[in-house]
A and B are shown apart, each in its own frame.
Chain A
Amino acid sequence: EDKVVQSPLSLVVHEGDTVTLNCSYEVTNFRSLLWYKQEKKAPTFLFMLTSSGIEKKSGRLSSILDKKELFSILNITATQTGDSAVYLCAGLPYAGNNRKLIWGLGTSLAVNP
């Protein structure tokens, strides 16, 4: 059965710390891995990773995919209280027109001032 596992489930840090969130996956006919940030309402898209070893970066956030070891990490440097959220990752398989994402349970990040 396909699955995506995120770790840790929750994390508390102080402003300015650097954090690394992990996402491992077992997805049949894997195509891409996606990261989302969910604050109170709708998840907002962060990154989509399709190729192994190519870092994607947006400001203080970056992410990379390892297709050999079947995992991805999301790094946040110099954390701010506004980074507090649940971070979700999801695997996207090839399946014709099927766009079913396989979701992890999320990592809840709390950044304290």
Chain B
Amino acid sequence: DGGITQSPKYLFRKEGQNVTLSCEQNLNHDAMYWYRQDPGQGLRLIYYSQIVNDFQKGDIAEGYSVSREKKESFPLTVTSAQKNPTAFYLCASSTPLAGGSPHEQFFGPGTRLTVL
């Protein structure tokens, strides 16, 4: 079945540790996104990538890093520089906008990160 998978579902980390969240899609989508969701704050864009080996900062990129070495994969690293990392992280993907009709973003099931 086509879709987006995120792992792990729940993640606990100690303060000062880096942690990497996995996002994989088999929808053959070019564009991938990372969002953070906090209660009462809606979805905030961390990083996005339109194509392999290219990515751009979103609205709240500080303390995060990404890579896009393969079309299917867009892992997010939450570094120790991120001051308030406890949140629900959502990965999404979509087909490219250029040259065609706009397409919706499809979301993975999310990873809930808790910093102890």
CA distance A82 to B112 in the complex (A): 23
Residue count of chain A within 8 Å CB distance of chain B = 23
B114 at the interface (CB under 8 A from A): no
Judging by beta carbons under 8 Å apart, are B31 and A99 in contact? yes
The interface of chain B, by Cβ under 8 A from chain A, is 31, 33, 40-45, 48, 50, 58, 90, 94, 96-98, 102, 104-110
Judging by beta carbons under 8 Å apart, are A99 and B50 in contact? yes
Judging by beta carbons under 8 Å apart, are B42 and A106 in contact? yes
Binary contact readout A86-113 vs B (1 if CB under 8 angstroms, 0 otherwise): 0010101000111111011110000000
Minimum C-beta distance from A69 to chain B (A): 21
CA distance A34 to B43 in the complex (A): 14
Instruction: Return the contact of A103 from the options B42, B94, B104, B108 (Cβ within 8 A).
Output: B42
Judging by beta carbons under 8 Å apart, are B102 and A41 in contact? no
Residue of A nearest to B105 (CB): A101
What are 11 A-B interface contacts by the 8 Å CB criterion? A32-B102, A41-B110, A42-B90, A43-B43, A45-B105, A45-B106, A96-B97, A99-B31, A99-B48, A100-B48, A105-B42
Instruction: Return the contact of B98 from the options A32, A92, A97 (Cβ within 8 A).
Output: A97
Supposing A42-B90, A97-B50, A99-B50 touch, asked if A34 and B104 sit within 8 A by C-beta, the answer is yes
CA distance A103 to B44 in the complex (A): 8
Q: Which residues of A contact B108 (CB under 8 A)?
A: 42
A20 at the interface (CB under 8 A from B): no
Minimum C-beta distance from B60 to chain A (A): 12
Q: Which residues of A contact B97 (CB under 8 A)?
A: 96-99
CA distance A100 to B49 in the complex (A): 10
A77 at the interface (CB under 8 A from B): no
Judging by beta carbons under 8 Å apart, are B45 and A100 in contact? yes
CA distance A96 to B31 in the complex (A): 13
CA distance A105 to B50 in the complex (A): 25
Q: Which residues of A contact B110 (CB under 8 A)?
A: 41-42
A48 at the interface (CB under 8 A from B): yes
Residues 1 to 54 of chain A near chain B (Cβ within 8 Å): 31-32, 34, 41-45, 48, 50
